[in-house]
Amino acid sequence: MAVENASGRSVIYNQEPARRHAPVSSTGVLGWIRHNLFRTPFDAVLTVLSGLLIWGVVSSLVSWAVVDANWFAVTRNLSLFMLGSLQADPASVINVQILTLILAASVGISLASWTRLGLRTWVVLALAAAVLFVLPTIIYSATDRASALFSASDTGIVSGSLTETPLDSIAFIAAEGEELILQVAPIDSDSGLSSIAAFGDRATDALYNSARNRIAALAELESIEARLGGTSLTDTERAALESEAEALRTSTEQPVSTAFSLNSGVLSVRIVSGDGETVLVDETLSAGDAPITVTIPATGWYILDKSSDPAESVMLLEAKGIYPHTERTITRGQVDATGAPVLNDAGQQQIVSVDQFLRIVDDLVVEQRGPQRDGTDVPRNVVIDNQYRGGRPLDDYLRLHAALFLERANRLLIPLLIAAAVGFWAARAIDRMAPTTPPAQPWSRRLAMWSWFVMPIVIFVLVAPTDLGRWGGLFLTFMLTVVGIVASFPIGVALALGRRADGLPAIKYFCVTFIEVVRGVPLITVLFLASLALPLVNPALATVPQAVRAMVAITLFSAAYLAENVRGGLQSVPPGQVEAAKALGMNPVQITTRITLPQALRAVIPALVGQFISLFKDTSLVAIVGLLDLTKNADNVVAQPEYIGLRQETYIFIAIVYFVFSYAMGYVSRRLERSGSGSARQTKL
């Protein structure tokens, strides 16, 4: 590089001067944070306050989800949320599974046609799927099993106005090869009782609540004594506080652990098979003794007998491997010992009712009848009476809820990912084997268009044999949405074009009347008309399935709103383009299909997708007319005795499902806009 010095001579430097890079704080993540979050003092204060608010909300939500929330209502009813009562028909379930895989493969073909996803993206997805697949196994191997506590005593345990007497025997289900670990719970104080984190029976829950109430009363007593030590109280206030303090001293004088002689005696434990013929263990335990390990010889029912000595001493048995269960009754076809169906006099398979007992922590199912003694059922270890007590540690959350949910979710997600990958790479292979010369469309794009074109036929073929009366859950929501979108779109476009047909007044005023009338009433009114009023018009229509009537109502309602969206797009097209098309000799059909309609639809893509998202969410209204959609199934779940009071957990799960599908539709909309669909393009010949 040559420059002139002060004397006017040219000086040549053989080396380039060192390049000076921008400060780190001005580029990258730090630069973005500084520019967008801390540009001014006001921005900095607003960022800090917003961060604190977000942190408070997120931390509280996560703490509640991990420590307090009971997610068994979700994990134990995933199939009900997905299919409703259709899950009881194995043939229908297979059809729905095939349909889901075909849809996933079509999505993979479309991704190959319209996106630039490469091998790196699929490797990342495969790794993510592998992590999700092995994560439950990692959780099970890295965490210990949750504990269950059972009280043994002849003394009634008082908690508030309730008195609970421990059961002498309880029946539970277990699987072959499992190990039960039994010991006296290492709890000897009120603080230990108040920090219980395990499944527990009602008597244990009474101990837990009594200890917590006493600790809370001691804290209140300390606060009152601090106030009494001051000089600002009036004589009346001081007398009232002293009376309250005296009552608290009396009620908290004796610890709960001392009042019930907690774990101060000997615990007798006996486990026998459900038929009473095999004794697995018959031992006595005291506080501090080594645990007893018992191996379950066969899957089925077992009975736990427990007693304390002295009888008035409350002993707490800690067991790992004994967990509560839920009960349900299902109907299915009867088969004989060889697996052949048992037929009735009409030649049809005999239907029988079967009682099933499902362990709450896994997939163990027992169909044997519960054990009896002297003709009386032994009290069973049902989840209603043996719920999880206390604040749940992270290990129990991961093992009882996270791993259980992932196991069930993987059964759906991993096959879908495999099907999408097969469709994607098959489409790419077709493009490589059958290259296309531009401007012709690639074969993968043609395949994608045809796959979605025939998809309604595929859906009809697979779902038509199913019982429409059994449709429910996410499957019903999905079918209502798909039918509503596919059927309402051409109707809405036709209504929009008809409303602008000034030369055809009859068609124009019919479209105007339909659009204004339908848009003037709420969707629930249209659903009620289809459900209740339609059979009054023609009694023969009463035989039409309720789901079909809801589809028709949703389609017509959505079509009216789509018509106005499309009409707005048509009005945005400059009139000069229509005049130019006429000057070129194009007829009205060509002008509409090639000039105005593509531009109009492109202009209203956000509005159309917004309408589709609203349609997807509005399908929840069919619950009011008796259809068991996703939202209605949530109500049915929380109505079950074992899940009463779990509305928060259930509806948070429902909200997440709605959000995922709504976000997916919004994402597709944004990608469609960026792709330039419907825009004018220049083709090089």
Residue 164 above 80 pLDDT?
yes
Cβ distance 274 to 303 under 8 Å? yes
Q: Calculate the average pLDDT of the chain.
A: 85
Query: How many C-beta atoms surround the C-beta of residue 116 within 10 A?
Result: 7
Cβ distance 161 to 126 under 8 Å? no
With a pLDDT cut of 70, the percent of the chain lying above it is 92
Amino acid 266: pLDDT: 92
Work out the average pLDDT over 299-307.
Answer: 93
Euclidean distance between CA atoms 348 and 245, whole angstroms: 75
Burial of residue 565 (number of CB atoms within 10 Å: 0-12, 13-18, 19+)? buried
Euclidean distance between CA atoms 570 and 559, whole angstroms: 16
Structural tokens at position 26: 């001005």
Amino acid 58: pLDDT: 92
Residue 684 above 50 pLDDT?
no
Who wins on pLDDT, 255 or 541?
255
Range of lowest pLDDT (13-17, 80-84, 280-284, 447-451) = 13-17
Number of H helices, E strands in the chain: 25, 19
Work out the average pLDDT over 235-264.
Answer: 88
Range of lowest pLDDT (102-111, 613-622, 631-640, 668-677) = 668-677
Amino acid 86: pLDDT: 82
Work out the average pLDDT over 562-587.
Answer: 87
Work out the average pLDDT over 166-187.
Answer: 93
Beta strands in 123-175 (DSSP E): 148-152, 157-159, 162-164, 169-174
400 — pLDDT class (breaks 50, 70, 90): very high
Amino acid 440: pLDDT: 59
Amino acid 173: pLDDT: 94
CA trace torsion 182, 187, 191, 196 (10° rounding): 10
Q: What is the DSSP letter of 265?
A: S
Cβ distance 176 to 299 under 8 Å? yes
Q: What is the pLDDT of residues 390-399, one digit of tens each?
A: 889 999 999 9
Amino acid 38: pLDDT: 85
Residue position matching structure tokens 């109707």 = 491
The CATH number fitting domain 471-674, selected from 2.130.10.10, 1.20.140.150, 1.10.357.10, 1.10.3720.10: 1.10.3720.10
Euclidean distance between CA atoms 83 and 93, whole angstroms: 8
What secondary structure does DSSP assign to 622-684, as a single string?
GGGGT--BHHHHHHHHHTSGGGTT-HHHHHHHHHHHHHHHHHHHHHHHHHHHHTTTTS--PPP
Q: What is the pLDDT of residues 124-139, one digit of tens each?
A: 888 998 998 999 999 9
Instruction: Please name every residue paired with 198 in a beta bridge, in sequence order, or none if there are none.
Output: 389
Euclidean distance between CA atoms 534 and 544, whole angstroms: 10
Who wins on pLDDT, 166 or 6?
166
**Integer angstrom CA distances of residue 212 from 209, 279, 608:** 5, 38, 56
Work out the average pLDDT over 85-99.
Answer: 84
Domain boundaries, the chain: 148-322, 471-674
Euclidean distance between CA atoms 319 and 306, whole angstroms: 12
Amino acid 5: pLDDT: 52
Residue 678 above 60 pLDDT?
no
Q: What is the pLDDT of residues 317-367, one digit of tens each?
A: 999 999 999 988 877 667 776 767 777 766 677 777 788 899 999 889 998
Q: What is the pLDDT of residues 619-671, one digit of tens each?
A: 989 888 888 888 888 888 888 888 888 889 999 999 999 999 999 888 878 87
Amino acid 207: pLDDT: 92
Who wins on pLDDT, 23 or 150?
150
Q: Omega of the bond prior to 23 within 30 degrees of 0, cis?
A: no
Amino acid 682: pLDDT: 47
